[in-house]
Amino acid sequence: MLLREVEYARPASVQDAVRLLGEHEGARALAGGQTLINVMKARVASPDVLVDLNDLEELKGIELGPDGTLEIGAMATYSDVIDSAEARARPILGEVCAQIADVQVRNRGTVGGNVCSNDPTNHLPPLLVALAATMTVAGKGRERVVPAQEFFLGVYMTAVGSGELLTKVSLPAGKNDGFASVAIGADGTCIVSAAASQNGGGPRIAIGCVDAVPVLVEPGSTDADTVRQAVRDAELNPPDDVHASADYRRHLAEVLAVRAVEEAVKGR
Ligand SMILES: Cc1cc2nc3c(=O)[nH]c(=O)nc-3n(C[C@H](O)[C@H](O)[C@H](O)COP(=O)(O)OP(=O)(O)OC[C@H]3O[C@@H](n4cnc5c(N)ncnc54)[C@H](O)[C@@H]3O)c2cc1C
């Protein structure tokens, strides 16, 4: 289906992008376009103005701070992350990006687009919650930092408000991370995913595809029975659809949480 007529702007600075997004109520940021253009073609979304972020070099950087904090610009693609020497400071990130779809999607899809679309089946939302990432959101004349577990609000809904832009994702130092998923075919959409991080204290586990937002579980121990029980105690109410029943997804959540924790404990 052809796109509905839409205004198009290609700002040269984050400031200009924020101004354009604030000026037009129906404006939407355009990153890799892998999700947005498809939903526009299907007429599920009909923005009046597309604010294309692809000229904003300041959003494409991947930097490692002296304290080991990794900062990933919202417009870094999955391929940028996979190829980045700096991103190897948190190896799980590149490993999970390499599992997303195919090379075309990885070359165009961006970290910012992945989290801002908050499709519950996407790989990065549970990973970033488990890794205790923070998201920097810029608005007119202000910037705020949102913890990942408060960033995801609902299906396709995040803490990025109208007139705002996600500029970067920051990750604290750490190497003890794990990710496990069951997907529809190799490198396909996840049916259930689990990410775990064991970098001081008990493990942080985030389960994807079982709710509108990643479900954070903190069992206090890496013992497999304790992890399973903690997932059971979360009383998940996952969708029941053509790919898996709710019961099967609950079962997968337990199994994958244990696998992700085992991987995190081994470290890299
Ligand atoms: C065939 C196919 C298979 C896929 N399989 C997977 C998969 O297995 N796992 C997975 O995780 N993903 C998968 N995806 C989704 C893919 O990763 C998308 O690229 C991603 O979800 C959206 O990223 P994008 O850069 O294309 O964003 P866009 O489509 O450009 O934008 C998505 C949304 O985010 C908003 N947005 C983008 N950037 C910002 C920003 N900086 N600030 C504020 N709002 C912003 C846009 O306005 C829009 O609402 C698949 C996509 C395709 C086409």
At 235-247, the pLDDT tens digits run 999 999 999 999 9
| pLDDT given for residue 1 in this prediction | 67
Pocket test for ligand 1, best of 28, 35, 209 (most atoms within 8 A of CB): 35
First vs last C-alpha separation in the chain: 46
Q: What is the mean pLDDT of residues 41-47?
A: 88
Atom of ligand 1 nearest to the CA of 164: 43
pLDDT confidence bin for 94, thresholds 50/70/90: very high
For residue 87, report the distance from its CA to the centre of ligand 1, in Å: 20
| pLDDT given for residue 267 in this prediction | 86
Q: Are 159 and 137 in contact (CB under 8 A)?
A: yes
Is 80 exceeded by the pLDDT of residue 3? no
Q: Are 215 and 129 in contact (CB under 8 A)?
A: no
Atom of ligand 1 nearest to the CA of 166: 42
Pocket test for ligand 1, best of 51, 116, 184 (most atoms within 8 A of CB): 116
Other beta carbons within 10 angstroms of residue 120's beta carbon come to 21
Helices (DSSP H) in the chain: which residue ranges? 14-23, 36-41, 78-83, 92-97, 103-108, 111-117, 124-130, 148-151, 224-233, 246-266
Is 90 exceeded by the pLDDT of residue 43? no
Q: How far is CA 46 from CA 8, 50, 113, 173, 222, in A?
A: 13, 10, 17, 40, 46
Please write the tens of the pLDDT for every residue from 60-88: 999 999 999 999 999 999 999 999 999 99
The residue among 10, 213, 26, 37 whose CA lies nearest residue 109 is: 37
Please write the tens of the pLDDT for every residue from 152-173: 999 999 999 999 999 999 999 9
Against a cut of 0.95, is the pTM above it?
Answer: yes
pLDDT confidence bin for 105, thresholds 50/70/90: very high
Is 70 exceeded by the pLDDT of residue 6? yes
The residue among 133, 130, 129, 128 whose CA lies nearest residue 171 is: 133
Pocket test for ligand 1, best of 58, 80, 105 (most atoms within 8 A of CB): 105
pLDDT confidence bin for 46, thresholds 50/70/90: confident
Give me the percent of the chain exceeding a pLDDT of 70.
100
Please write the tens of the pLDDT for every residue from 115-162: 999 999 999 999 999 999 999 999 999 999 999 999 999 999 999 999
Please write the tens of the pLDDT for every residue from 192-221: 999 999 988 889 999 999 999 999 999 999
For residue 242, report the distance from its CA to the centre of ligand 1, in Å: 23
| pLDDT given for residue 125 in this prediction | 98
For residue 116, report the distance from its CA to the centre of ligand 1, in Å: 7
Q: What is the mean pLDDT of residues 244-262?
A: 98
Give me the percent of the chain exceeding a pLDDT of 90.
91
